[in-house]
Amino acid sequence: MAETPFKAYIDEAMEIEGNVRTRNPIRIDGKIKGDVLCSSDIIIGEKGIIEGKVVGRELIISGKVKGKVMARERVNLEASARLEADIITPVLSIKEGALFRGAAKVLPRSDVEKELKNEWK
């Protein structure tokens, strides 16, 4: 992930029930019950918790996700990541220590784009 200033930030003290949509890079350290749809990069910090779908360009996940994860470019699961989710991405990296329960589809970018078009309805 290129050095991108995050224009959106959900801190540890925030809880959101509902969907979050943004075109800007976002960092999530709080809790979201709903979908996160971003046309840019997403970082889910160690204290971040998402119950829903996460869709973005590049995802770095250190926290917890329960739902579905889709990325146009890459998904990185850090050692502290805890996922109960299916993943669709062209590139998947899982560090030792990460917990992943679900199915992973590592597809060509063109196939990922087709899958993503269905998600943005």
Q: How far apart are CA 57 and CA 120, in angstroms?
A: 13
Number of compact structural domains in the chain: 1
Domain hosting residue 56, numbered range:
8-119
Domain assignment of residue 2, yes or no: no
DSSP track, 41-81: -EEE-TT-EEEEEEEEEEEEE-SEEEEEEEEEEEEEE-TT-
The model's pTM is 0.92
Task: Supply the pLDDT for residue 121.
Answer: 57
Q: Which tokens is 89 given?
A: 């991405």
Domain assignment of residue 3, yes or no: no
Q: What angle (nearest 5°) sits at the alpha carbon of residue 8, between those of residues 23 and 40?
A: 30
- Predicted confidence (pLDDT) per residue in 66-87, tens digit: 999 999 999 999 999 999 999 9
Q: How confident is the model at residue 33 (pLDDT cuts 50, 70, 90)?
A: very high
Domain assignment of residue 28, yes or no: yes
Domain assignment of residue 109, yes or no: yes
Task: Supply the pLDDT for residue 51.
Answer: 98
Domain assignment of residue 1, yes or no: no
Q: How far apart are CA 87 and CA 90, in angstroms?
A: 10
